[in-house]
Structure formats: structure tokens, C-alpha cells
């Protein structure tokens, strides 16, 4: 199981607790938002995997799929590392903002076009610790 940092950590921890099998865990960190509510469109890896995924079954765990740009970048990166299989699980899917095709194998909820925080999701590193997901009405105020 590969979690996308930082937002997926709470969802991934809860997901693991509900699985009836042992899993190995690793993380990749990415940046595309910074302190904004809009994706820059440029994705970069800030933390890479510690172990090879070659020949292994991989479940990529995301907090939210928005534009699809980060997901596409990560899937391309991971496919080049030749896993046996690669599937995607996201807590939230926001298709209204999609800029590229994003196929999710599993998702929790489809949400409207709103900026959400909580349960690991943040705005400028704030609100991650909320035990719920809520809409951020006035970011920066």
C-alpha cells in the first residue's frame, strides 16, 4: 500500500485497520498546491518510496482526486517501476475539476466542486487534524 502524503495518512490508517490481510506500507510525497486552493498544475515528488514496487501488487491511496494531474503523474511514475498490478483508492473524488482522465478502482465519496479540509486534508498545513471533512468557505481569512 502506497499512501500519498500528506493528506492520505488518516484515511490510509483507517483503511488498513479494516483489511483482513497484512500489508506493507510506504509513502510518496507530492506537491501541487502549496498555500493555495488551486493546483499549480505542476507536480513534483518530495518523498519517494523506500522499497521497490517491481513485481509487487500496489494499491495507491489518495485523499482526494481533483484535477487528476497528481494521480496521472504518480501512476506514470509507478508504472515505469513495473509493479505486478497497480490500483487506486481515493477517499474523495471531485470529477467537476478533472483536467485529465482519472480511473479510480475504489473511492469513498464523490463530492461537488468545493475546497475541503479535515481528516488529513489541509489548507496551508491547517485543518488536517479535524475528525471530519468540511468545506473551507473563506480560505486565507
Residue 58: predicted pLDDT: 98
**Is pLDDT at 59 greater than 80 in this prediction?**
yes
Domain extent, residue 89, equals 2-135
Q: Please name which of 46, 55, 50 lies closest in space to residue 81, comparing C-alpha atoms.
A: 55
**Is pLDDT at 130 greater than 90 in this prediction?**
yes
Percent of the chain with pLDDT over 70: 91
Mean pLDDT of the chain: 92
The pTM of this model reads 0.91
Our answer to whether residue 22 is catalytic in this structure is no
Number of structural domains in the chain: 1
Is residue 141 in a domain?
no
CA 116 – CA 1 distance, rounded (Å): 24
**Which carries the bigger pLDDT value, residue 10 or residue 140?**
10
Is residue 18 in a domain?
yes
Domain containing residue 107: CATH number: 3.40.50.2020
Residue pLDDT, tens place only, 16-49: 999 999 999 999 999 875 555 565 678 889 999 9
Least confident range from 22-36, 50-64, 119-133: namely 22-36
Residue 39: predicted pLDDT: 58
| Mean pLDDT in residue range 93-121 | 95
Which one is catalytic: 22, 63, 66, 93? 66
Identify any residues that bridge with 44 across adjacent strands, giving them in sequence order: 31
Beta strand spans in the chain (E): 2-5, 26-31, 44-47, 57-65, 85-93, 106-110, 116-117, 134-135
Is residue 72 in a domain?
yes
Is residue 60 in a domain?
yes
Amino acid at each position: 500500500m502506497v499512501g500519498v502524503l500528506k493528506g492520505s495518512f488518516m484515511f490510509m490508517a483507517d483503511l488498513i485497520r479494516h483489511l483482513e490481510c497484512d500489508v506493507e506500507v510506504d509513502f510518496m510525497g507530492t506537491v501541487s498546491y502549496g498555500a493555495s486552493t488551486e493546483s499549480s498544475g505542476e507536480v513534483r515528488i518530495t518523498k519517494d518510496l523506500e522499497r521497490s514496487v517491481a513485481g509487487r501488487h500496489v494499491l495507491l491511496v489518495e485523499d482526494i482526486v481533483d484535477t487528476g494531474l497528481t494521480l496521472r503523474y504518480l501512476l506514470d511514475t509507478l508504472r515505469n517501476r513495473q509493479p505486478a498490478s497497480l490500483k487506486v483508492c481515493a477517499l474523495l473524488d471531485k470529477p467537476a475539476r478533472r483536467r485529465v482522465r482519472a480511473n479510480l478502482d475504489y473511492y469513498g465519496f464523490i463530492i461537488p466542486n468545493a475546497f475541503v479540509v479535515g481528516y488529513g486534508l489541509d489548507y496551508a498545513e491547517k485543518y488536517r487534524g479535524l475528525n471530519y471533512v468540511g468545506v473551507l468557505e473563506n480560505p486565507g481569512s
